[in-house]
Amino acid sequence: MLERMRAYFDLQAKLREQALESSRLTIRASAKAIAAIHRGDVKAAEAFIAEAKEGLNSLAKLTADAPELAESGIVLSAQQEYGEAEIVKAAILEGKLLEVDEIGIPFKPYLAALADAAGELRRHILDSIRANEIERAEATLKLMEKIFEFLMEFDYADAVLPGMKRRQDMVRQVLERTRGDLTLALRQQRLERALEKRGG
């Protein structure tokens, strides 16, 4: 019995180490993809997302042999980061929000990824304002509003959906700050146009 139990736990330890490696690969590649999207380097972003997807596929194979890993932070963090990269890419490049089935991750990491994506969309809006692309910023703000409205539909205890209330509050704050920034930019734009008309 002792040998059987040790063999079992040795295998669990080995699978966990392999899962950690795949998870780290996925998280790193996802972060690089988001950075590339903000730089406007679409080709690099797609390559990093493909790399992250490979890491997720490796995790899927590992969890088939060790189902208890499927709900672990190791796997959920990787799924969340990958989901965030996919959501940010589609939102910024295509102006749409991907649904959970389009990304292929479970519900919990999808919701967490949506919440985190709101912060990246704020960054994109500020970049758009600096580039004087106000219409682009307005379109992205509408996506942020959709994310917030969607997340507010999930009113569950932490035991069912851990961290959701905190994420809802975070997205609300990010949205309010971004809306304020965009309002100021719109006022500035109107003022500049009015001055130009007078000057003309």
Residues in the annotated binding site for Mg(2+) = 120
How far is the C-alpha of 184 from the C-alpha of 179, rounded, in Å? 9
Tokens of 115: 């919440």
Q: Report the first-to-last Cα separation within the chain, whole angstroms.
A: 91
Among 169, 110, 179, which Cα is nearest to 145's? 179
DSSP for 107-172 reads: HHHHHHHHHHHHHHHHHHHHHHHHTT-HHHHHHHHHHHHHHHHHHTT----TTTSTTHHHHHHHHH
Annotated binding residues: 120
